Amino acid sequence: MFDLIDEDLFTDVLLDVFGVLDDQYVRDLASDCLGQLRTTFDSAYQTQFLIVERETGKPMNVNALLQTRASAEEFLTIVGDKYEIGILLTNS
């Protein structure tokens, strides 16, 4: 679960760096590279998401640990602006 890097932002950066190359070629390379990074990262770390207080960074409660960013974002819409999504990385 490698949700730390936004795919579009990663691709845009590579397009800027390798601007002399064909856009579609760079997009394909970005997709391949990101896939390899995900595989490497996922084998080394477990990523979980938690809901934390925006001001203190303290977890909302023990039930605020979620497995996907999408579920964390959905949870966040329920609890409101006082909270934000935190990322917890643990060694696999």
Mean pLDDT of the chain: 88
Query: What pLDDT does residue 88 have?
Result: 87
Q: Is the pLDDT of residue 1 over 60?
A: no
In this predicted structure, the answer to whether residue 15 has a pLDDT above a threshold of 60 is yes
CA distance 16 to 12: 6
Give the pLDDT of residue 64. 77
- Mean pLDDT value across residues 79-86: 90
Kind and range of the H or E element at 53? strand 45-53
Asked whether the whole model's pTM tops 0.85, one would answer no
* C-beta of residue 33 within 8 angstroms of C-beta of residue 57: no
Q: Which amino acid is at 92?
A: S
Q: What is the pLDDT of residue 2?
A: 54
